[in-house]
Each structure stands twice: as C-alpha cells, then as structure tokens.
Amino acid sequence: MTRSILRSGSAGASVSGGILQSLATIWTVIAMVLASFKILRPLDEHAVEVPVEPRFSNGITVCRIVPRFEGMDTEALARLIAASTT
C-alpha cells in the first residue's frame, strides 16, 4: 500500500491525507532518534558486548540506547530535541 500511495497521481480519492502526514512524522522521529542516540549491542552480566548474529527475526530486539553526545544530561538532550523541531 505504501508504494502506491507514494507514487504521484496514484493515491486516488479514497486515500486520506493523514496517511502521508503519518509517514512523514514517522520518518522525522526515526531521523531524530538516530541523530540523538547511539544504538549499540547489549551488554552481558560482565559488561561485555554480546555478539550479534545477523538474521531476520519476528521477535524482540535487545539493544542499548545511549545519548550520542557524551556527558549530556536529560535536560540538555530535551533542549537539543526541542531546538531541532522548531
């Protein structure tokens, strides 16, 4: 469905404008998360990174999400995100 919506002129009269808005919002949120945070391998009980097996899965993914900028506290990160959305 997404491909037919994104092709110019193929959306048709029955497609809501909200779908395009939601796709743009999801893209923006993903870009902001990737710009603000590092997504890293999980740590085991000895603080050693767990090796990753590249494969497709239908299950839950375990990872660590840490601020991309070291030493940044929650308030500073919130200000950075707010500044990027205005």
> What does the alpha-carbon distance between residue 54 and residue 83 come to, in Å, rounded to a whole number?
36
Domain, as residue range, for 31: 2-7+14-84
Domain count, the chain: 1
Taking residues 12-30, what's their average pLDDT?
Answer: 83
Taking residues 19-23, what's their average pLDDT?
Answer: 90
Residue range 40-66, pLDDT digits in tens = 999 999 999 999 888 888 888 889 998
Give, for 18, the enclosing helix (H) or strand (E): helix 17-36
The pLDDT, as a whole number, for residue 4 is 56
Q: Is the pLDDT of residue 1 over 80?
A: no
Query: In this predicted structure, which of 6-15, 35-44, 76-85 has the lowest mean pLDDT?
Result: 6-15
